Amino acid sequence: MSISFSERGIYMGLPWYRVHTVVLNDPGRLLSVHIMHTALVSGWAGSMALYELAVFDPSDPVLDPMWRQGMFVIPFMTRLGITKWWGGGGGGGWSISGGTITNPGIWSYEGVAGAHILFSGLCFLAAIWHWVYWDLEIFCDERTGKPSLDLPKIFGIHLFLSGVACFGFGAFHVTGLYGPGIWVSDPYGLIGKV
């Protein structure tokens, strides 16, 4: 007859702030759960933006603004400089400042939502890969038994590339060179357009 841990008074439950101990000695799985969290957050942002666009009524922006309609994601996108929408099936879109537009560009509300969903899918695939190939012993040389991977070098390359990507995204987004830009007004013509 076996006695369970709970009958012995030994409880294996971890408090909420100790969840990383489950994957502490598994570097691939530790990385995987964090990449999956990024995928979930990004996917939520993109899908919530698409949902809000589906239910948003722009007909009366003064008496019925977006925040009164229960929007959460779209006001933040607008504050960051995204002001155009592809619109319905009529071929023309609209701008948050009023009126219809003919070419909203790729970085409209739908474009940014789609980019978030695409990024979410890529992070999901990366998380699955790191979860499946978490065991570093499969990367050992069979003859010597030593690891054939230079882990600090791989980590450094990943860190450098993610830093370049974050800096590039921020620089292009802030200046408006690629995307809507945080500096929406440009009275002196300092920023370029693609």
Burial of 193 (0-12, 13-18, 19+ CB in 10 A): exposed
Angle separating helix axes 109-132 and 27-55, nearest 10 degrees:
160
Q: CA 145, CA 36: separation in Å to the nearest integer? A: 31
Task: Decide if pLDDT at 168 tops 60.
Answer: yes
Distance of CA 176 to the CA centre of its chain: 20
> Which pLDDT tens digit goes with each residue over 47-70?
999 999 888 877 777 787 887 888
Q: CA 75, CA 87: separation in Å to the nearest integer? A: 17
Identify the three-state secondary structure at position 121.
Answer: helix
pTM assigned to the model: 0.68
